[in-house]
Amino acid sequence: MKIKTKSKKVNKAWLNDHINDPYVKLAQREGYRARAAYKLKEIDEELKLIRPGQCVVDLGSAPGAWSQYLRRRLAPEGAAHGALNGCLVALDLLPMEPIEDVHFIQGDFREDSVLAQLTDTLQRVHGGGKVDLVVSDMAPNLSGVAVADAARIAHLIELALEFSQNWLTPQGALVVKLFHGSGYSQLVKLFKESFVEVKPIKPKASRDRSSETFLVGRRLKPR
């Protein structure tokens, strides 16, 4: 009974925080599917990553808030609908409600067949040209076992990096979500070995109590 009571209290506290969260309210007003849009917005505003005319890949895209933000940034007038200057391909293991002009693939990025689908889509919508930006909000289901969770997180980031090394333009950028804790310093080291510029960012929209942060790599080093 105590466990259930505690669980109810935790859920109630989370729900209360969520309802009163200013980013949740802002997302509702501005038509974003999740408050996560403002994490990418802050990163973009600081580093000026996204411009009309680019080709962008959004990994771990569901429910679609990052794709919504990217779509608006690629639109000449910043609109959620209408003309788009660029191309945007999104992928997630979970389903995602359609977003105008976003080419969505549902599948597991860790599987070769899904990676092949992504490659085929880029060939079709971008003529096989290089990508300007890869953003990844991918995260595994956490087990609570630190070593195992760190390995799962690192694997997804390594896959995103490998994809970026094959597809990014020389001036392109990769943004990934990661977590402070076991394996963090090794992932930063990997980025520094791979990119000329590396910057860790903790957006204000990322909750203080969360260990999540974001790592941005720009301008790939020659392999």
Report the C-alpha gap between 63 and 36 in whole angstroms.
10
Place of tokens 């501005």: 30
Please indicate whether residue 177 is annotated as part of the active site.
yes
The number of residues making up the chain comes to 223
Nearest one of 127, 111, 55 to 84, comparing CA atoms: 55
Report the C-alpha gap between 67 and 4 in whole angstroms.
37
Q: Would residue 95 be called left, alpha or beta, if left means φ above 0 and alpha means ψ between -120 and 50 degrees?
A: beta
- CA–chain centroid gap for 16, Å, is 26
Catalytic residue among 9, 12, 41, 177: 177
Sheet architecture: strand order including 102-106: 102-106, 87-92, 55-59, 131-136, 168-179, 212-220, 195-201
Q: Which residues of 93-128 are buried (b: 16+ CB within 10 A; e: fewer)?
A: eeebeebebbbbbeeebeeeebbebbeebbeeebee
Report the C-alpha gap between 175 and 199 in whole angstroms.
10
Active site residues: 177
